[in-house]
């Protein structure tokens, strides 16, 4: 979702005409990515009583909000299975300049391991930057015990080289605004299975995983995730929750992201360009012709 703003663009006229040696400002309209808060609530039953609890507020790009809350609940292991989300409803008054409802409520059908107190402590001030919204290091522990099978996926190096272009060509908003992140699920033939966009890297990945799990189109044996930005700890953690064996990004990974990928046998790739990329761990999944 984007909106047009009037801006003043300053361009070095000499770049186009060497005889001109000054900056030439001009007025134009520019597409800007919309950022709005989303209040996420959880509805669940205790005994005979229905309860509704606010669990997080995140800044997001409006659109695919159902995928966002579903992916968030799964990736943070508030639910163990995507089918535990019984329904998702948009709530609240229509507000703001964009006539949006900025509240969403997910009803879940399994409360066996639900700890609302812990959830609220961890995510009460959560934002799209991920870990910074959590309140303690304890809350970013990985809720995963098994490593990923190193035998799959097997991805040809050419598919990795082309992944940034696959992302760009399937982004509806980036070409207009330049101010939005994306995550894509891509198969070993270079087919883009799904793409989701958001101003927050973590929201884009939550939306993607929420969507592909609900549609049952994720196949870990021949698919990988490509991201438009740098790769940090929480992005790797979210991908691991769905047993994704390979993750690639156009930016740099952090040290903690690499350590986490190594720990669970994920292949982590960064600085992906049209002619090069860096493999930080578990290179056996990349098919390279000598």
Which residues belong to the active site?
A: 129
The two beta strands, 36-46 and 267-270, are unpaired
Q: List, in sequence order, the alpha helices (H) in the chain.
A: 65-75, 116-123, 157-169, 174-177, 201-215, 233-241, 255-263
Whether 162 and 202 have beta carbons less than 8 Å apart is answered as no
Closest CA to 143 of 58, 206, 237: 237
Provide DSSP, 106-157: EEES--TT--HHHHHHHHTT--TTGGGGSS-GGGG-----SPPPTT---EEH
Whether 244 and 210 have beta carbons less than 8 Å apart is answered as no
Q: How many other CB atoms are found less than 10 A from the CB of residue 74?
A: 23
CA distance 157 to 284: 11
Helix-, strand-, coil-residue percentages of the chain, each rounded to 5: 30, 35, 35
């Amino acid at each position: 979702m984007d909106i047009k703003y009037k801006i003043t663009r300053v361009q070095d006229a000499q770049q186009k005409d060497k005889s001109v040696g000054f900056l030439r400002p001009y007025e134009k309209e520019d597409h800007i990515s919309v950022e709005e808060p989303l209040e996420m609530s959880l509805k669940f039953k205790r005994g005979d009583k229905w309860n509704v609890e606010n669990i997080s507020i995140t800044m997001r790009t409006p659109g695919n909000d159902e995928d966002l809350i579903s992916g968030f609940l799964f990736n943070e292991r508030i639910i163990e299975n995507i089918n535990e989300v019984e329904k998702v409803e948009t709530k609240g008054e229509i507000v703001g300049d964009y006539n949006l409802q900025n509240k969403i409520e997910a009803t879940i059908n399994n409360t066996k391991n639900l700890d609302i107190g812990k959830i609220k402590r961890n995510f009460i001030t959560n934002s799209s930057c991920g870990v910074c919204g959590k309140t303690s290091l304890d809350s970013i522990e990985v809720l995963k015990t098994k490593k990923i099978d190193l035998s799959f996926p097997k991805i040809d190096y050419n598919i990795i080289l082309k992944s940034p272009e696959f992302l760009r060509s399937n982004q509806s908003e980036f070409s207009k605004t330049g101010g939005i992140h994306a995550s894509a699920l891509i198969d070993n033939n270079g087919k883009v299975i799904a793409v989701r966009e958001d101003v927050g890297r973590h929201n884009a990945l939550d939306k993607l995983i929420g969507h592909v799990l609900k549609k049952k189109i994720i196949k870990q044996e021949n698919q990988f995730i490509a991201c438009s930005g740098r790769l940090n700890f929480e992005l790797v953690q979210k991908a691991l929750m769905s047993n994704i064996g390979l993750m690639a990004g156009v930016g740099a990974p952090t040290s903690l992201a690499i350590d986490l990928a190594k720990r669970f046998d994920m292949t982590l790739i960064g600085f992906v360009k049209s002619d090069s990329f860096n493999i930080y761990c578990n290179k056996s999944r990349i098919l390279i012709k000598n």
